[in-house]
Amino acid sequence: MSGEPLLPPVQGAEGALFDTLRKVFGFHEFRPNQESIVRAILEKRDVFAVMPTGGGKSLCYQLPAMLLPGTCVVISPLIALMKDQVDGARANGIRAECLNSSLDAEERQRVIGALLSNSLDLLYVSPERFTLDHFREMLRRVQISMAVIDEAHCISEWGHDFRPDYLALSDLVTIFPDLPVAAFTATATHRVQQDILQKLALRTPFIVRASFDRPNLVYDVRYKERGDQQLVSLLKSNRGKAGIIYRTSRKSVNDTAAMLQAKGFRVLPYHAGLGDLERKRNQEAFIRDEVDVMVATIAFGMGIDKSNIRFVIHADLPKSIENYYQETGRAGRDGEGAHCTLLFAQGDSSKVRFFIDAMVDETERARALASLQKVIAFASTSVCRRKTLLDYFGEHYPHENCNSCDICLGVREVVDCTLQAQMLLSAIVRTEERFGATHLVDIVTGSANKKIRDLGHDRLKTYGVGKQHDKKYWRHLIDELLAQQVIEKSEGLYPLLFLLPKAVRILKHEEHIEMVRVLEKQKAKVVSDGESGTSYDKGLFDLLRVLRKQIADEQGIPPYVVFSDRTLHEMASLVPRNAEAMLSVSGVGEVKLERYGRQFLSLIDRYCSDHPAAGV
């Protein structure tokens, strides 16, 4: 991009801080930690910051990049991420480019030309490029404002995405002895943090470890009964919104995607088994709001910056709490409400167990098992989900009630079910541990089917004792007894249920057992709580979205780069009628106002004349 910088570089940048925040980014306040990081950089200090996804890391260096003279060099590991960042920055009028292997010779020359003529605010490069001698030589010939390392955990062998080429970044501080170096990541344990600090040799850096809490995400764990039906109803209540459904296997991804497509939902599959082209096409369709939902294995998500993902559903058990946090973390980057649902059935854990048991490496097997157990504990306890998640990352959640998880919203209650458990256990004893769940449920509910009669099970003392509850209840109880290790299932196609020592203690009245019950009425509340907190005109919002999509297509950028969901929500709530009012909407800066303001204002005009009540 060429032309004059939007704002002249300011030496004593302090005064321009809020001005730039407003004019360039269109924001009226900083998110937590952003201001202190920006200030540290402006004071030429090194920075190391761990901030969760959606925390607003890009602004922490893009804002100083606009205030300091010279080009800010950002080292970033993924080409897809770079492209997104460049699109986003340019939409705000920032002169941003990237240099990586995806460029052809001509484009590369153009970018290098812009760099050499000192007309770039931001340059994104891959770590490979950064190590090349001639690139470094070039950097010496131009004015550089600062260096940024994105996804800084890639430099640590202790981290989960170690990239050997990141090690070459350890001489950054010697290349830029007088410039601030800022490293950002969304994941770093204390050990990884120490490793990063040491490898990069940052000079008494300003360190930020932000809370991992994502207050705009609602966590909701549901008992998985009929997976497909539940998915359909979840999608119905989220119609038109962007979401991801995670499944474990490629086959289940294909099946679920086909099932949902047949029901008329706009979904596409994504997994490593699809050809490169198809995968790329599907991902692109999702990013550009051409389909609403991606049904995917965990291969999907890395490098996806889409900020308007409104829900994430785990239709199978995640591999670990860390995975769960990362995968749900892709929702609600724009700060607007988003809903994370985990469909949990005890049966799923035996499936995962089956794969884990087949692992050859003993340490890996043990690690996988421990991870699975933590996930099961997360899903089955009646402790606040947020608290449990944060605990896992060593963070103490200071509130009693988070008000945005199924537990805290009181969607569940814990009930004593010792008596019912005794009925079922006694049916198992009386049939000598030779039957599976379906038959046992038939006995306690008093089914009069042929098998029951042929075996004479209608004469058992436990026959029909549990009539007052339906079959669904008893299936749930069996899952609960399996989860709490009261009973166990045999291997094979028709697994039989048998007792574990705890069952004997329950039968002898030596031990109680409790079960979590879902209160149907309040379930709906959690769903609607995923919505944005502020009320807005939904009819107007839908039209704004159509216009956003149209503009995005014309310009070949993703819709959320034009305006985020949050910005459109605010427009549909404030209903701005002139340029000044438009500028007060969060996310509308001067450049976006100039580029898109007229179109959006005239749409709002038309809407208001058709709907005289709007905006009053």
Determine if 218 is a binding residue for Zn ion (CB under 5 A).
Answer: no
CB of 569 to ligand ADP, least distance (A): 12
Check if the beta carbon of residue 301 is closer than 8 Å to that of residue 314.
no
CB of 506 to ligand ADP, least distance (A): 48
Determine if 402 is a binding residue for Zn ion (CB under 5 A).
Answer: yes
Please identify, using beta-carbon distances, which residue of 305 and 479 lies nearer to ligand ADP. Answer: 305
- DSSP conformation class of 33: T
CB of 324 to Zn ion, least distance (A): 15
Determine if 486 is a binding residue for ligand ADP (CB under 6 A).
Answer: no
What is the distance, to the nearest Å, from the Cα of residue 76 to the centroid of all Cα atoms in its chain?
20
Distance CA 234, CA 329 (A): 19
Distance CA 206, CA 263 (A): 53
Determine if 335 is a binding residue for ligand ADP (CB under 6 A).
Answer: yes
Determine if 56 is a binding residue for ligand ADP (CB under 6 A).
Answer: yes
Please select the residue that binds Zn ion; options are 408, 440, 443, 544, rule is CB under 5 A. Answer: 408
- Segments of 389-486 assigned E as strands: 412-416
Pick one of Zn ion, ligand ADP, none as the site partner of residue 58 (Cβ within 5 to 8 A by kind).
Answer: ligand ADP
Pick one of ligand ADP, Zn ion, none as the site partner of residue 586 (Cβ within 5 to 8 A by kind).
Answer: ligand ADP
Identify residue 582 by its one-letter amino acid code: M
Per-residue tokens: 48:
């190391």
Site for ligand ADP in 273-312 (CB under 6 A): 305, 307
**Residues in a beta bridge with 148:** 74, 182
Please identify, using beta-carbon distances, which residue of 147 and 408 lies nearer to Zn ion. Answer: 408
CB of 329 to Zn ion, least distance (A): 17
Determine if 333 is a binding residue for ligand ADP (CB under 6 A).
Answer: yes
Burial class (CB in 10 A: 0-12, 13-18, 19+), 159: buried
Pick one of Zn ion, ligand ADP, none as the site partner of residue 283 (Cβ within 5 to 8 A by kind).
Answer: none
∠ CA 66-71-76, nearest 5°, is 100
Pick one of ligand ADP, Zn ion, none as the site partner of residue 42 (Cβ within 5 to 8 A by kind).
Answer: none
Please select the residue that binds ligand ADP; options are 27, 206, 223, 474, rule is CB under 6 A. Answer: 27
Stretch of 157-165, 381-389, 476-484, 546-554 contacting Zn ion, by CB under 5 A: 381-389
Site for ligand ADP in 540-599 (CB under 6 A): 564, 586
Distance CA 238, CA 292 (A): 10
Determine if 53 is a binding residue for ligand ADP (CB under 6 A).
Answer: yes
Please identify, using beta-carbon distances, which residue of 333 and 502 lies nearer to ligand ADP. Answer: 333
Please select the residue that binds ligand ADP; options are 51, 81, 218, 417, rule is CB under 6 A. Answer: 51
Size of the site for ligand ADP (CB under 6 A): 19
Determine if 390 is a binding residue for Zn ion (CB under 5 A).
Answer: no
Residue reference for tokens 């889409």: 306
- DSSP conformation class of 223: E
Stretch of 132-140, 332-340, 483-491, 599-607 contacting ligand ADP, by CB under 6 A: 332-340
Q: With helix as H, strand as E and coil as C, how does 340-387 read?
A: EEEEECHHHHHHHHHHHHCCCCHHHHHHHHHHHHHHHHHHHCCCCHHH
Check if the beta carbon of residue 486 is closer than 8 Å to that of residue 506.
yes
Determine if 55 is a binding residue for ligand ADP (CB under 6 A).
Answer: yes
Determine if 372 is a binding residue for Zn ion (CB under 5 A).
Answer: no
Residue number of the CB atom closest to ligand ADP: 56
3-state secondary structure of 570: helix
Check if the beta carbon of residue 288 is closer than 8 Å to that of residue 561.
no
Stretch of 228-236, 327-335, 386-394, 458-466 contacting Zn ion, by CB under 5 A: 386-394
3-state secondary structure of 313: strand
Distance CA 98, CA 109 (A): 12
| Rg for the chain, CA atoms, rounded | 28
Burial class (CB in 10 A: 0-12, 13-18, 19+), 492: exposed
Determine if 59 is a binding residue for ligand ADP (CB under 6 A).
Answer: yes
Determine if 241 is a binding residue for ligand ADP (CB under 6 A).
Answer: no
Please identify, using beta-carbon distances, which residue of 30 and 473 lies nearer to ligand ADP. Answer: 30
DSSP of 203-222, one letter per residue?
SS-EEEE-----TTEEEEEE
Distance CA 114, CA 123 (A): 10
Determine if 211 is a binding residue for ligand ADP (CB under 6 A).
Answer: no
Check if the beta carbon of residue 40 is closer than 8 Å to that of residue 206.
yes
Please identify, using beta-carbon distances, which residue of 61 and 600 lies nearer to ligand ADP. Answer: 61
Determine if 547 is a binding residue for Zn ion (CB under 5 A).
Answer: no
Residues lying near ligand ADP in the complex (CB under 6 A) are found at 27, 30-31, 34, 51, 53-59, 305, 307, 333-335, 564, 586
Residues lying near Zn ion in the complex (CB under 5 A) are found at 384, 386, 402, 405, 408
